[in-house]
Structure 1
Amino acid sequence: MWNDVAKSTLWFGFGSLCFLSSCFSTGISFSMFPVISHLSLLCLGVSFFSNSIAQSSESKKKRKLKEDDILKAARVILPVLNFVISKAREVFSSEPSMTLKVAPFLLLGSDYGHIVTFKRLCALGFFIGFTGPKLYSLYSIQIHKRSERLKKWILEAWGGCSHKKIVAGSVVTAFWNLTSIKTRIFAAFICVVIFRRYRQQLP
């Protein structure tokens, strides 16, 4: 939130420099298989040289997993797994409000997910983390006011329209003719979710 301007500027400048320099470098791409291969080669080399240098009998003892090791690992992993499971249940619950929040992101991810690489995701998270919260805290009141004005203007324009059925029919017809089958199915699904949420809000 830029409370300490000097430290925030230092880290933002350093991170920006790293990401900008990586944009101009050629031949650098990220994939899990080369990373795992490099780490395995490093472990293999360290193990080989350590066993070659230390020829004592203690270094050749076989190491086995014990119940305590498994319990320690479980104590670390289980809270993370429980958190992921609880969030997954919350996201994939049949609540209309949560469905309306999550469905557009999943649609964008299914269509344009191949564009998001690990490096781009890190850069996007870095810049949004440094700019998004501060900008929202500064301009949240103005954003809410403008969104309310826009909503009010749309409702007034729709209420003053004398040919609602013709306009709605034209919009639906144009949408049906210009979109793909996948988009039509998604739009029908969103309409069902909106209708269900509207029925839940009725007294």
Structure 2
Amino acid sequence: MWKDASKSTFWFGFCSLCLLSSCFTQGLNFSVFSALSQLGILLSGVSFFSNSICQRNEVEEKREIKLTEDDILRLAKLILPALNFAISRMRALFSGEPSMTLKVVPFLLLGAEYGHLITIRRLCAIGFVVSFSVPKLYSSYTVQINQRAEGLKSWLLDTWSACTHKKKVMASALMTFWNLSSIKTRIFTVFILLVLFRYLRQHVVLQLEDGEAKVGEKEQQKDSAMAEPEEKEPQQALVVKEQGRQN
């Protein structure tokens, strides 16, 4: 969207107006009980006025509202595609696969820890800033970001390989974390470590299977290459015999 100047200008101005107007209003506090109560008040008021009008006109009109099977089927046809899509996405997110679990759990942990700080106004402001800044920054500085990440990764690996007391450093870091963290943090850490262990184990198994498949393909290519000269030798002998008979 940010590549089109007209669209970017329109949405930037519209979102800026909404953001500035929201700064002068209080945050929205949504409650299911409050919403149901307000809906009940509205329904009671409408029923009261309609009943008053009917009595003034001396009209007794009582309509029985009943749902039929056709109504339920029509409603189900409208709702089922959205429900099936939501169920499929939820099953994909909570499939239990290590890779998907590592992607989902950090966001869930952040939501559980800092969810009370997220309001509709803050969410709109964050989405507004991110949608207009992150894509442009990422496309402009992708190469630099990758270079910095590779440099940091190589520096960490070199530092760790140069360390002569790896076991002591790991033990001291684990003890410090264990003593300073809470019970909930320890449980989540153990869970993440188990997921990482299973993820690495699956990758090692896949790499071994790929290596075995490549070795098998190379052996088949060698066997086929060795079999071709053996097949050619009898054919050459037959050709020589036929030429001798003709002579």
TM-score (norm 1): 0.82
* Alpha-carbon distance between aligned partners in 2 of 1:37 and 1:105, rounded to the nearest angstrom: 33
Q: Could you tell me whether the CA contact under 8 Å between 1:30 and 1:119 is conserved in 2?
A: no
The answer for the alignment partner of 1:84 in structure 2 is: 86
The answer for the alignment partner of 1:116 in structure 2 is: 118
Which consecutive unaligned segments of at least 5 residues does structure 2 have? Answer: 209-247
Q: Could you tell me whether the CA contact under 8 Å between 2:28 and 2:119 is conserved in 1?
A: no
The answer for the alignment partner of 1:65 in structure 2 is: 67
The alignment partner of 1:2 has SS state of coil
The alignment partner of 1:165 has SS state of helix
How far is the alpha carbon of 1:175 from its aligned partner? 0.8
2:6 matches 1:6: yes
Query: 1:132 is matched with which residue: 131, 134, 139?
Result: 134
- Residues 99-154 of structure 1: CA distance to partner in whole angstroms, max 9, x if unpaired? 11112112122211111123323333343334333433333333233222211211
Q: 1:159 to 1:84 in 2, by over 3 A?
A: same
* Alpha-carbon distance between aligned partners in 1 of 2:7 and 2:50, rounded to the nearest angstrom: 41
Q: Could you tell me whether the CA contact under 8 Å between 1:91 and 1:102 is conserved in 2?
A: yes
* Alpha-carbon distance between aligned partners in 1 of 2:19 and 2:108, rounded to the nearest angstrom: 27
Q: Could you tell me whether the CA contact under 8 Å between 2:102 and 2:195 is conserved in 1?
A: yes
Q: 1:4 to 1:49 in 2, by over 3 A?
A: farther
The answer for the alignment partner of 1:31 in structure 2 is: 30
* Alpha-carbon distance between aligned partners in 2 of 1:109 and 1:119, rounded to the nearest angstrom: 16
* Alpha-carbon distance between aligned partners in 2 of 1:80 and 1:74, rounded to the nearest angstrom: 10
Larger Rg belongs to? 2
* Alpha-carbon distance between aligned partners in 2 of 1:147 and 1:74, rounded to the nearest angstrom: 50
Q: Could you tell me whether the CA contact under 8 Å between 1:2 and 1:134 is conserved in 2?
A: yes
How far is the alpha carbon of 1:49 from its aligned partner? 5.1
Matches within 5 A, 1:123-202: 123-202=125-204
Which consecutive unaligned segments of at least 5 residues does structure 1 have? Answer: none
Q: 1:39 to 1:182 in 2, by over 3 A?
A: same
Q: How many residues get paired?
A: 202
Q: Could you tell me whether the CA contact under 8 Å between 2:98 and 2:199 is conserved in 1?
A: yes
* Alpha-carbon distance between aligned partners in 1 of 2:128 and 2:51, rounded to the nearest angstrom: 42
Which of structures 1 and 2 has the larger relative contact order (alpha carbons within 8 angstroms, sep 6+)? 1
Q: Could you tell me whether the CA contact under 8 Å between 1:158 and 1:164 is conserved in 2?
A: yes
Q: 1:180 to 1:80 in 2, by over 3 A?
A: same
2:101 matches 1:102: no
Q: 1:183 to 1:72 in 2, by over 3 A?
A: same
How far is the alpha carbon of 1:53 from its aligned partner? 6.1
* Alpha-carbon distance between aligned partners in 2 of 1:135 and 1:68, rounded to the nearest angstrom: 53
The alignment partner of 2:178 has SS state of helix
How far is the alpha carbon of 1:25 from its aligned partner? 2.7
* Alpha-carbon distance between aligned partners in 1 of 2:37 and 2:9, rounded to the nearest angstrom: 37
* Alpha-carbon distance between aligned partners in 1 of 2:131 and 2:47, rounded to the nearest angstrom: 40
The answer for the alignment partner of 1:16 in structure 2 is: 16
- Residues 128-187 of structure 1: CA distance to partner in whole angstroms, max 9, x if unpaired? 334333433333333233222211211111111122112111211111111111111111
